[in-house]
Amino acid sequence: MHFLDQAKIYIRSGGGGPGAVSFRREKYVEYGGPDGGDGGKGADIVFEAVAGLNTLIDFRYTQHFKAPRGGHGMGKDRKGAQGKDLVIKVPVGTQIIADDEDRDTVLADLTEAGQRVVLFEGGLGGRGNASYKTSTNRAPRQHQPGLPGQEAYVWLRLKLLADVGLVGLPNAGKSTFINQLTNTHAKVGAYPFTTLHPQLGVVRHKNREFVLADIPGLIAGAADGAGIGDRFLGHIERCRVLIHLIDIAGTDPAEAMQVVEEELAAYGEGLDEKPRLIVLNKIDLADTELAAGFAAELQEAGAEQVFAISGATGAGMDALLDAVISHLPAATATERPQGEQEEVDQEPWSPL
């Protein structure tokens, strides 16, 4: 399945149905009077977060969503049927953003499976002529058309929900690392940017489990959009702890650590305040003395503790995973019971 984390769509709620102009006509009833019913309310636009989706790819092919209008009022005081709400299903972690110049107005943030948000309400139905009857106006012919629905373009932005985020420069061995711990089957290659989109996997360790997110390698200027790194960093905003993977075979591990740390700080959103575990990867390619020397350099550069591991062989993984679990809550995203979520109490948004 292709990964897509941004999509622009058009949405329109249903217009209200028009009221009816009708008069009672029955045998032996001389003065039947008006009996035109009101129109039905138009359908709402509802967004629902559902489990099992992790991409917005469906919105590349379906970009227009129009809810049905309410039914016409009818004679015999029959009210028009209400339009059936249009429910748009999105992955958990999807933000709905106004299509303004900066695209920074978040209208809704769907962070739990089952969460529902009414973004646009349908238009109210028009009044039928029966509602205009008064003591002085016994045969009104007035009626109202239904109120129109609301329409606008909005952006959908997916920010993956994971407990732990995996960051590092390109070719730091992140794909091999996540493959060692999960069944993700991420593509592995001996060249930079093997990973082109975020990957998710579930890690199980000592009767605990958590979701691990691997984002493509970061480069200098990522926070400002270089290599679309700003979009990648958005996927780890919700993580509780970050694993910073550093290639022991790289030119300068201390410099590599500094580049990523600067990008986390430049991006903001609290990324530089999250707990980070500095990990020296690919120790199977170096002797013990060299690994110890690089670990010392990383600590001199600011790392509180350095974990030496091999993503290929699994060496050193247990100590690292123990440290990860110590930073996680009592129940992670996958460990919480799957209960039904209540609808969000939120005022519908108006584009006007």
Tokens at 347, concatenated: 């005022």
Instruction: State yes or no: 195 annotated in a binding site.
Output: yes
38 & 137 share domain? yes
Mean pLDDT of the chain: 84
The C-alpha atoms of residue 75 and residue 6 are separated, in whole angstroms, by 48
Instruction: State yes or no: 137 annotated in a binding site.
Output: no
Is 349 among the domain residues?
Answer: no
- β-partners of residue 213 are 165, 200
87 & 191 share domain? no
HSE-CB at 61 with a 13 A cutoff on CA atoms is: 4
Residue with tokens 């962070």: 111
Q: What is the largest CA-CA distance in the chain?
A: 108
45 & 168 share domain? no
209 & 294 share domain? yes
153 & 295 share domain? no
Instruction: State yes or no: 110 annotated in a binding site.
Output: no
H/E stretch holding 294: helix 288-300
Count of structural domains, the chain: 2
171 & 122 share domain? no
Tokens at 70, concatenated: 């309410």
Q: Is 214 helix (H, G, I), strand (E, B) or coil?
A: strand
Tokens at 135, concatenated: 């003591």
The C-alpha atoms of residue 14 and residue 123 are separated, in whole angstroms, by 6
User: When comparing pLDDT for 342 and 156, which is higher?
Assistant: 156
Q: Is 157 helix (H, G, I), strand (E, B) or coil?
A: strand
Instruction: State yes or no: 312 annotated in a binding site.
Output: yes
Instruction: State yes or no: 23 annotated in a binding site.
Output: no
Instruction: State yes or no: 171 annotated in a binding site.
Output: yes
| Rounded average pLDDT over 254-271 | 86
Give yes or no for residue 336 having a pLDDT over 70. Answer: no
> Which segment of 49-58, 152-161, 167-176, 211-220 scores lowest on mean pLDDT?
211-220
pLDDT tens track for 93-111: 899 999 988 888 899 999 8
Instruction: State yes or no: 283 annotated in a binding site.
Output: yes
Dihedrals phi, psi of 341, to nearest 5 degrees: -100, 145
Instruction: State yes or no: 337 annotated in a binding site.
Output: no
Instruction: State yes or no: 310 annotated in a binding site.
Output: yes
Instruction: State yes or no: 207 annotated in a binding site.
Output: no
13 & 45 share domain? yes
Host domain of residue 24: 1-160
- β-partners of residue 281 are 247
Is 280 among the domain residues?
Answer: yes
What CATH number is given to the structural domain containing 317?
3.40.50.300
Is 340 among the domain residues?
Answer: no
Is 346 among the domain residues?
Answer: no
Dihedrals phi, psi of 112, to nearest 5 degrees: -135, 140
What pLDDT, on a 0 to 100 scale, did the predictor assign at position 341?
45
123 & 4 share domain? yes
User: When comparing pLDDT for 289 and 42, which is higher?
Assistant: 42
CA distances from 261 to 2, 169, 251 (A): 30, 11, 17
Instruction: State yes or no: 175 annotated in a binding site.
Output: yes
Is 344 among the domain residues?
Answer: no
User: When comparing pLDDT for 217 and 35, which is higher?
Assistant: 35
Give yes or no for residue 57 having a pLDDT over 90. Answer: no
pLDDT tens track for 71-85: 999 999 999 999 999
End-to-end CA distance of the chain: 37
pLDDT tens track for 156-211: 998 877 889 888 888 788 888 888 888 655 444 443 444 456 778 888 888 888 88
Instruction: State yes or no: 281 annotated in a binding site.
Output: yes
Instruction: State yes or no: 197 annotated in a binding site.
Output: yes
What pLDDT, on a 0 to 100 scale, did the predictor assign at position 126?
96
Tokens at 237, concatenated: 């905003």
Instruction: State yes or no: 169 annotated in a binding site.
Output: yes
147 & 193 share domain? no
What pLDDT, on a 0 to 100 scale, did the predictor assign at position 71?
96
What pLDDT, on a 0 to 100 scale, did the predictor assign at position 201?
83
16 & 155 share domain? yes
What CATH number is given to the structural domain containing 59?
2.70.210.12
Instruction: State yes or no: 165 annotated in a binding site.
Output: no
203 & 146 share domain? no
What pLDDT, on a 0 to 100 scale, did the predictor assign at position 344?
46
Q: Is the pTM of this model over 0.85?
A: no
pLDDT tens track for 276-296: 999 999 888 888 888 888 889
| Rounded average pLDDT over 44-54 | 90
The C-alpha atoms of residue 66 and residue 86 are separated, in whole angstroms, by 8
Identify which of 307, 338, 313 has the alpha carbon closest to the alpha carbon of residue 179. Answer: 313
153 & 169 share domain? no
Instruction: State yes or no: 161 annotated in a binding site.
Output: no
CB 83 within 8 A of CB 147: no
**Could you tell me how many residues make up the chain?**
352
